[in-house]
Structure 1
Amino acid sequence: MELTGEAIVLKEGKAGVFSTQIVGSLQESGVYVTRVRLAPNAKNDPHFHPDGRFTTVIAGTIYYGRGNVVDTELAHVFHAGDVYYTPAETAHWLYAGADGAVYDEVGFGPSSATPVAPNK
């Protein structure tokens, strides 16, 4: 499989978060790759996944943390070329810097995202 950047069409899910599956499916067993673009300062509130995920930052800056509440003072800062891992069932959150961000997530499906209520 070969794709150029122009061939990858991202669709907006929630406000400021655009994504598409590049490889595989979140609904089926097997490896998947999801491309995500965050608009400037867009955030992904605390949530967790049933599978572990590797995230590779392609462009921009991502502020990432673990837990049920977004705590900007505890955010880890990741730039283009950086990689991080989120274990399965681990509450986490992230938000983009002022220039937005693009990243790929690699995991093993089936998968989903479950929102986390603060302090639970």
Structure 2
Amino acid sequence: MKRYVIVQAIMRRIVAISLYLYLGILTAAELDPKAITIRLPDEIKWVANPGGSESAVLVGDPSKPGLYVVLNKWKAHHNSKPHSHSNDRFITVISGTWWVGTGTDYNVENLKPIPAGSFVTHYGNEVHYDGAKDGDTILQIFGIGSATSTPAAAK
């Protein structure tokens, strides 16, 4: 009988500790939405663009004045023609290899590979072209809007 009471006491403690740990994990997982917002990958809305890319606005609105942050996904074998933007843009290559060129002479043979983890600045009103070769690439772009893109006149 005494052994049964000891086993029962141990089991109650194990259940109590397990319940305490479980509730602690639940409490720790709840974050104050006034302090932090999280969007998991499946919650990010991607929109298809002409020319073989997709974009997802994370912060702001690129079409309006002010700070914006967007993700841009270049699909394999797609790239832009020479163009410029009115303001500086700051780009981090998140994944894949991004291929970039400068000037109005569009030549895919002159594209330079930029690996994931790299940081690039596109200066306002300077002509460039870019995209992806054999695999998709994802970029994070931030700048000050309104973000415009102006096609460059070919030489």
Determine if the TM-score, normalized by the shorter chain, exceeds 0.5. Answer: yes
Q: Which residue of 2 aligns with 1:21?
A: 57
1:84 maps to amino acid: V
1:117: how far off?
Answer: 2.4
Please provide the CA RMSD for this pair.
Answer: 1.3
1:81: how far off?
Answer: 0.7
Q: Which residue of 2 aligns with 1:34?
A: 70
Q: TM-score, normalised by structure 1?
A: 0.91
Higher percent of residues as strand = 1
> How many positions carry a matched residue from both structures?
119
1:61: how far off?
Answer: 0.8
User: Which gives a bigger RCO, structure 1 or 2 (Cα 8 Å, sep 6+)?
Assistant: 1
CA contact (8 A) 1:60 1:97 kept: no
1:89: how far off?
Answer: 0.4
| Post-superposition CA distance 1:11-61 (Å, at most 9, x none) | 111131111211111222211111111111111111111100111111111
Quote the Cα distance in structure 1 between the aligned partners of 2:51 and 2:91.
21
Q: Within 5 Å, which residues of 2 pair with 1:63-74? A: 63-74=99-110
**Unaligned segments of structure 1, at least 5 residues:** none
Quote the Cα distance in structure 1 between the aligned partners of 2:112 and 2:90.
15
2:108 maps to amino acid: T
| Post-superposition CA distance 1:52-103 (Å, at most 9, x none) | 0111111111110111122334322111111110100011101202011111
Quote the Cα distance in structure 2 between the aligned partners of 1:57 and 1:76.
13
Tell me which of 120, 131, 148 is aligned to 1:84.
Answer: 120
Quote the Cα distance in structure 2 between the aligned partners of 1:52 and 1:15.
22
Q: Secondary structure at the match of 1:63?
A: strand
Higher percent of residues as helix = 2
Quote the Cα distance in structure 1 between the aligned partners of 2:151 and 2:104.
9
CA separation of 1:15/1:29 partners in 2, compared to 1, >3 Å: closer, same or farther? Answer: closer
1:6: how far off?
Answer: 1.3
1:27 maps to amino acid: S
The structure whose Rg is larger is: 2
Tell me which of 132, 144, 154 is aligned to 1:96.
Answer: 132
